Structure 1
């Protein structure tokens, strides 16, 4: 990847007085005491109100981002046979390529193609005494037709892990915790996942059976998610005033709070509900999402919030269609089984039979 100076943010879109979500400069976390305190206050307010915000000052160079998007484009331009060679259905670890319409959100097809790349770790034992979630850990699938993808994506994964870990330290301080409050559940082997995503454009008024759902409304299952948007809009966030567009702002990432953060704060923070609308016919949308979660083998604790914050904690949201589980491996597996029924049927048929 190209080493360049950090990407610089541009002013918000012309004609708009302010962005739909707050823009926070992560470099202020390392500033003088007064500036740091103000940043932490704004961080807490942004997650409390929206569950999401834009972040700049993250230190990831524009060249790094350009390289990642260029290789993402090259991957999606490969012949179908090369992409299907690493189709996710071949992986019990939910790694690899997914065709448009094959992932599900709340039972409905998402109109996007993508490749999922996680931490490069050895397969765990999966005997009778092993938990079902142990099957989630294992190697990635890489396309022989694009060998450059592996070093680029794994380098990006490292860079985004650093950004997200810094953000988590800020989140901890913002709610009156030691800055290392999350270290015990992410140390050594956090859950890491990079998704390279392409949303093909289509005319939903003319194509029978095709909806405008790029990805349906959902919460992410981890602690924090970074969304790297390319050029085309489509991301939307649910707020108290309804759905708002969250367009790309150069030099920024969108940060979404996830389910594990909701659990750890007893609902003081709620995970962001978001979706993506399919682009119009003739254009497409690229994005890269990075998910950081806790280790698969841990149970998320409830942090001892200061009394004034604890009094405002609402408890985790009670959704019978999406129960939040404190066991990280179980929570992650729940999400993956629902999202990828083909992988579930091939590699987890025993679990499906047990719950039928």
Structure 2
């Protein structure tokens, strides 16, 4: 099947097709629901990425990313120390881990997933009212934030809500998920605060250090829908990338697809009902001076008739230092452990993310000393 796309006809106008798809405001769910059997050409990924999709470690996938029980973090100093060391180890080696007994009821998780799914399953005429590409503010429904910046589109739609520091007005959030989105902002932030305390302690810093530095002050909630794809061997749900911010809290339904790069192997992340996935972002790798690792992850195109739903909460730095710069925390530096990254500006950070498609560690690579 892949050979069909080996040569691009001279008559093929990629930008025209991309624009028609974007202006239809139907997203990939609209394509999937229409019953197509072949995906549009601009979704077909480059050969090097497609060949890499087959590289999955069955051995590591059977164990998966670390699972950490948070139920005893406040019961005793000894138990908290044990959990902190587990979080530190996972953030240093995997960059990804799953938390259970995190304080949010399973019923709340299920309601949040159902609400985001309900939004994506609305008729196109209803959803299209929210379709736009005004990044970094308000509410935005779109397919592929980087549609015009990437080499190939990926098979997903997204509902984006910038929850802090300037939350949208309640009436701006779609009614189908309004109550749940506002509640999830609160619940996921509470979990992130617990995890960030443990990560701060893991570096030998005060428990509240990361909170004081406003590491949770900027938040974006993204509800992804990965509908059925008729040719999952030709595209991806989301391309391999690292998250640019501090940490990410991920809630997903039971449909598989997420993979994490561990060493040279891709590992399947098995959905764990009631669990939440935490991963380290590029900024946390930088401010920790490389102690914590931001790692590549991707989502395979969905071959299941049931849509894959994931709700991602991105936590990012709000208050930049001085005239708007940041770098490794001075408290972590010494003659024995000098800075491995230079300071960089807020403008560099945002330009690096919004002026290109999703990718891996490009900011980190630019500021390495």
* Match of residue 271 from structure 1: 294
Q: Do structure 1's residue 302 and structure 2's residue 331 form an aligned pair?
A: no
- Say if 1:24 and 1:39, in contact at 8 Å, map to a contact too: yes
* Match of residue 349 from structure 1: none
* Match of residue 9 from structure 2: none
Q: Tell me the SS of whatever aligns to 1:198.
A: strand
Q: Tell me the SS of whatever aligns to 2:63.
A: coil
* Match of residue 331 from structure 1: 349
Q: Tell me the SS of whatever aligns to 2:291.
A: coil
TM superposition shift of 1:306: 7.7
Alignment of 1:126-205 (within 5 A): 139=168, 146-186=174-214, 190-204=217-231
TM-score normalized with structure 1 length: 0.74
CA distance in 1, matches of 2:148, 2:246: 21
TM-score normalized with structure 2 length: 0.71
TM superposition shift of 1:142: 5.9
TM superposition shift of 1:94: 7.1
* Match of residue 280 from structure 2: 257
- Say if 1:224 and 1:257, in contact at 8 Å, map to a contact too: yes
- Say if 2:280 and 2:293, in contact at 8 Å, map to a contact too: yes
Aligned counterpart for 1:59 among listed residues 64, 84, 103? 103
Go from structure 1 to structure 2 and tell me whether the alpha carbon gap of 1:118 and 1:48 turns closer, same or farther (over 3 Å shift). Answer: same
C-alpha deviations, 1:177-208, integer Å up to 9, x for none? Answer: 11122123217x81101111100121327xxx
CA distance in 2, matches of 1:107, 1:140: 35
Unpaired runs of at least 5, structure 2 = 1-58, 359-369
TM superposition shift of 1:93: 2.6
- Say if 2:219 and 2:316, in contact at 8 Å, map to a contact too: yes
- Say if 1:176 and 1:306, in contact at 8 Å, map to a contact too: no
- Say if 2:252 and 2:310, in contact at 8 Å, map to a contact too: yes
- Say if 2:68 and 2:98, in contact at 8 Å, map to a contact too: yes
- Say if 1:218 and 1:273, in contact at 8 Å, map to a contact too: yes
C-alpha deviations, 1:322-341, integer Å up to 9, x for none? Answer: xx97434642453234249x
- Say if 1:234 and 1:279, in contact at 8 Å, map to a contact too: yes
Alignment of 1:273-288 (within 5 A): 273-280=296-303, 282-288=305-311
What is the count of residue pairs matched by the alignment?
296
CA distance in 2, matches of 1:112, 1:87: 14
TM superposition shift of 1:105: 8.1
- Say if 1:195 and 1:289, in contact at 8 Å, map to a contact too: yes
Go from structure 1 to structure 2 and tell me whether the alpha carbon gap of 1:112 and 1:140 turns closer, same or farther (over 3 Å shift). Answer: farther
Q: Tell me the SS of whatever aligns to 1:55.
A: strand
Q: Do structure 1's residue 112 and structure 2's residue 156 form an aligned pair?
A: yes
Q: CA RMSD in A?
A: 3.1
TM superposition shift of 1:110: 1.9
For structure 1, which segment, 99-108 or 60-69, has the greater mean C-alpha deviation from structure 2 after superposition? 99-108
CA distance in 2, matches of 1:47, 1:90: 33
Alignment of 1:42-81 (within 5 A): 42-81=86-125
* Match of residue 247 from structure 1: 270
Q: Do structure 1's residue 211 and structure 2's residue 234 form an aligned pair?
A: yes
For structure 1, which segment, 105-114 or 271-280, has the greater mean C-alpha deviation from structure 2 after superposition? 105-114
Q: Tell me the SS of whatever aligns to 1:27.
A: coil
- Say if 2:61 and 2:268, in contact at 8 Å, map to a contact too: no
TM superposition shift of 1:115: 0.3
